[in-house]
Structure 1
Amino acid sequence: MASKKMFRDYIRDARISSGLSQGDVASKLGYSTPQFISNWERGVSMPPIDSLKTIAKMYQISPEELFETMEAEIVKDLKLSLHKKFKTA
């Protein structure tokens, strides 16, 4: 299942498999620079929720799988953050 893979790797691999460059994706989503897409693929940020269905269609992947992979990463990060805060409290 894709949720085992880190979101940044999942979204990068899906883009590459679809034959799109970061610039192609940025342009299709209305971004002025491919840096936004690079940030997703480096784990710096995540795409907006309202763009996921469009991204899934461009990448020819399941929108549900894309969402679930992103959700799993967010939950994992939140758990780590809460655990660290609990340990230092």
Structure 2
Amino acid sequence: MAERDGATPVYGIAVAADLADVPEATLRLYERRGLLTPFRSDGGTRRYSDDDIDRLRRVAELRDAGVNLAGIGRVLDLEDENGDLRRELEEERRSR
């Protein structure tokens, strides 16, 4: 069997909520606020990946630390940007 990567959308909203230990309504709120963007099937069903679950757990960590949703969004954006820059740097180093 082929391995799937962390970005493969496999979980429905109920399973994702259970894995992230948050109510389904919270997942919908986070999506409305732009904190995550689950894959949508042709029929509009949300599908979450392991990467989405990790992101939800990070949101919970920040929320528990007292950061509001706007702040969480900014932190996540900066973390994503930092990760992108690190990948670019690593690719540049490999190509030398």
Which category describes the TM-score, using the shorter chain as reference length? 0.3 to 0.5
Greater radius of gyration (CA): 2
TM-score normalised by structure 2 residue count: 0.35
Of structures 1 and 2, the one scoring higher in RCO (CA 8 A, sep 6+) is 1
Instruction: Output the TM-score relative to the length of structure 1.
Output: 0.37
More strand by share: 2
More helix by share: 1
